[in-house]
């Protein structure tokens, strides 16, 4: 809880300095980000994109980062967001609960436009299967993620874990994928869950991480972070944003920004991309309408 308060306060401080002024007129878009990584890294990654978009579209783009995944659904209307980079489950939830339309999603450096989740443990933990996890501590990411919660939940259930409380000694939500990795590395949790793109990013900066961790399981492919905009925004605004993003790999500045996002380019996104999320929910017997995505 203390960690969340620190993040929220720091987030507010960051946001006050991250506004991108409207390039012309009063037009401005407020785009939300989920705390996929810690908020400093998220802002660092996306800020150049916001500046680029502002410059190329003539529409001011301002970023706001939410302290929790579920907040992006709850606060979309409350904060007057025009759009957001949604994750796998938050994207599906947004499609159901908010009147938004998927616009674009990044193509990763390896050419994929999807990501998957890993269940990780320390190599020296002696954990090789779910049976070895009894009585251990699990660090999930957030209830509103497939890679960071629903997939591991489905995986544990498929291997006979009837209730998390009865099987594990403790479980908690770290709030971001990289936090889940650090929790396992430090021995603050025995088992962690992380999206492959975040894991790869951490490993590329510190290869010793790969030496210390073992991947126990891998999820089906899930949609990458998808930019969705409010359906009722003017068509020319949506088109302009989409056109700029789809073409940004064709100019030098755009490619530089894409590299910081660890993306090759943006590709068109659609509601259909979220089908694997619905399938995962179905596996768990959950209905997206009633799914409790908030971390209490």
Partner 1 sequence: MILSFLAGPLHAATKDGIVAGVVFSGDLPFYREIHEELVRRLFEKGYDKKVRFIIQRPNPDALAWSNAIRKMIAYDASLIIVYGSGAARAALYESSSVPIIYAAVYEPERSGIKGSNIRGVGYRIPVSSIIRYLRKTGDIKKIGVLYSDAEPSTKTQYDDVKAACESLSIDVVKIPIKRPSEIGRRLRLMSYDSLLLTSSALINKYFPDYILVFRKKPVPLAAIITGLEEYSVITLSTDPRKQGDILARNLIQFINNGDISGIENTELLKNSLTFNMRLAIDLGLDIPVELLTESDRVIK
Residues contributing to the site for partner 1 (CB under 8 A): 2-3, 6-7, 10, 38, 40-41, 122, 124-125, 137, 176, 178-179, 182-183, 185-188, 190, 206, 208, 211-212
Nearest to 34 by CA among 169, 228, 205: 228
Is the Cβ of residue 208 or residue 290 nearer to partner 1 in the bound state?
208
Handedness of CA 244, 245, 248, 249 (dihedral sign): negative
**From residue 166, how far is each of 131, 156, 184, 191, 192 by CA, in Å?**
13, 12, 21, 16, 18
CB of 150 to partner 1, least distance (A): 24
Is the Cβ of residue 80 or residue 187 nearer to partner 1 in the bound state?
187
3-state helix, strand, coil in the chain (%, to 5): 45, 20, 30
Is the Cβ of residue 24 or residue 40 nearer to partner 1 in the bound state?
40
CB of 151 to partner 1, least distance (A): 23
Is the Cβ of residue 158 or residue 169 nearer to partner 1 in the bound state?
169
Nearest to 63 by CA among 31, 87, 41: 31
Distance CA 147, CA 277 (A): 10
Please, is 262 exposed, middle or buried when counting C-beta atoms within 10 Å of its C-beta (0-12, 13-18, 19+)? middle
CB of 199 to partner 1, least distance (A): 15
Is the Cβ of residue 41 or residue 79 nearer to partner 1 in the bound state?
41
Distance CA 26, CA 11 (A): 25
Nearest to 106 by CA among 277, 254, 278, 293: 254
Is the Cβ of residue 101 or residue 212 nearer to partner 1 in the bound state?
212
CB of 75 to partner 1, least distance (A): 21
Question: Can you tell me which residue has the tokens 């998927």?
Answer: 102
Distance CA 94, CA 218 (A): 25
Q: Give the strand order in the sheet containing 137-140.
A: 170-173, 137-140, 191-195, 117-122, 213-218
CB of 137 to partner 1, least distance (A): 7
Is the Cβ of residue 124 or residue 272 nearer to partner 1 in the bound state?
124
CB of 169 to partner 1, least distance (A): 9
Q: Tokens for 58?
A: 């003539």
Distance CA 237, CA 241 (A): 6
CB of 205 to partner 1, least distance (A): 11
């Amino acid at each position: 809880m203390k960690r969340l308060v620190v993040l929220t306060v720091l987030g507010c401080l960051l946001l006050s300095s991250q506004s991108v002024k409207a390039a012309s007129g009063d037009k401005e878009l407020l785009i939300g980000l989920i705390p996929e990584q810690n908020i400093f890294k998220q802002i660092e990654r996306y800020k150049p994109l916001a500046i680029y978009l502002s410059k190329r579209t003539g529409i001011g783009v301002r970023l706001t980062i939410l302290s929790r995944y579920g907040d992006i659904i709850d606060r979309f209307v409350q904060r007057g967001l025009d759009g957001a980079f949604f994750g796998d489950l938050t994207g599906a939830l947004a499609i159901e609960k908010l009147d938004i339309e998927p616009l674009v999603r990044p193509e990763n450096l390896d050419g994929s436009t999807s990501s998957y989740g890993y269940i990780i443990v320390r190599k020296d933990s002696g954990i090789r299967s779910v049976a070895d996890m009894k009585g251990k501590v699990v660090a999930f990411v957030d209830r509103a993620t497939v890679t960071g919660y629903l997939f591991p939940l489905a995986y544990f259930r498929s291997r006979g874990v009837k209730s998390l409380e009865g099987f594990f000694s403790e479980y908690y939500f770290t709030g971001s994928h990289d936090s889940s990795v650090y929790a396992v590395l430090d021995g603050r949790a025995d088992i962690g869950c992380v999206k492959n793109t975040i894991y790869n990013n951490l490993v590329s900066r510190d290869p010793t991480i790969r030496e210390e961790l073992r991947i126990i399981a891998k999820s089906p492919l899930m949609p990458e972070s998808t930019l969705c905009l409010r359906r009722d925004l003017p068509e020319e605004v949506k088109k302009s944003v989409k056109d700029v993003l789809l073409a940004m790999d064709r100019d030098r500045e755009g490619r530089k920004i894409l590299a910081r996002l660890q993306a090759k380019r943006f590709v068109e996104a659609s509601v259909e991309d979220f089908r694997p999320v619905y399938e995962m929910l179905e596996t768990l017997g959950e209905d997206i309408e009633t799914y409790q995505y908030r971390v209490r």
